[in-house]
Amino acid sequence: MVQPTKHSPGHTVALVLEPGHWEEFDPFLLLAEDWFEHGTFDVHPHRGIETVTYVIEGRLLHYDNKAGAGELMPGDVQWMTAGRGVIHKEDPDAGDTVHSLQLWLNLTSDKKMTQPRYQNLRSHDMPVRQEEGASIRVFSGSSGAVRSQTENHVPVTMVEIVVEPGYRITQELPGDFNGFLYVLEGKGTFGGNLAQGVQGQVLWLDRPDNSSRSEVAIHATDKLRVLLYAGKPVREPVVAYGPFVMNSKEEIRQAINDYQSGKFDA
């Protein structure tokens, strides 16, 4: 069960996926659930990763040195490819508190220095798979016949699943994906072994062997809201230092030098 910790007067954080478990979580690096006020995060850089920010509550303002400014509302996602380097800041309005999830997604070595890009995925624009008693909003990848147009460097499925009490849905995934579910609201059972899941709980999916497809069944006991993340493992060395994630210590040193010399602004 995820345990929130008071980090400062205006910031509470829960590490849903703690960094350092590179092989186990691959291609995911970490997932943080944050409750934060205006001024919590200052301007900071990233290189070698993508960040996937899902807003649960509040209005999140975004500034960066590549694509200007924007805002995210509850249910929206920003898919930011840091690639070769970005400098940005995420901040609530003064007087507001944002509740969000931010996932760090690894990039393959040939994409770590790719051109940065931003995909603002508005909840109301995302395709939705409708089933009796359930809806699946597809932010990346697919669900049934419904497919998102989100561009991926590393293949990833990200769906928001809402299931009414007593109903059941099945989500298919490629057999070589590694993935997990995070319960945002409610209670239910998951998978063939009927694992119990409640709000604030992470459930990892089994990794099937020699299978082209796999699936997870979800049954709601109470009204259930779940995020499912699954992706193709990168299977490369990971060297992380703060906001930089590369394949070697030398590449980390180069990232620090490039940032300090202003090359992230180029």
**127-231 has which fold?**
Jelly Rolls (2.60.120)
Neighbours of 201 (CB within 10 A): 17
Nearest-CA neighbor of 202 among 220, 170, 226, 221?
A: 226
pLDDT tier at 185 (50, 70, 90 boundaries)? very high
- Just give the CATH number of 5-124+245-265: 2.60.120.10
- Domain assignments of the chain as residue spans, ordered by start: 5-124+245-265, 127-231
The Cα 21–Cα 101 span in angstroms is 18
- What's the first-to-final CA gap in the chain, in angstroms? 43
pLDDT tier at 206 (50, 70, 90 boundaries)? confident
- Is residue 112 within 8 A of residue 247, CB to CB? The reply is yes
Q: Is the pLDDT of residue 219 over 80?
A: yes
DSSP E strands in 73-150: the ranges are 77-81, 86-92, 97-106, 117-121, 128-131, 134-140, 142-143, 146-147
Nearby residues of 149 by Cβ (< 8 Å), 6 or more positions away: none
Each residue's pLDDT tens digit, 81-90: 999 999 999 9
Each residue's pLDDT tens digit, 13-32: 999 999 999 999 999 999 99
Same fold, 5-124+245-265 and 127-231: yes
Helix (H, G, I), strand (E, B) or coil at 120: strand
DSSP at 75: T
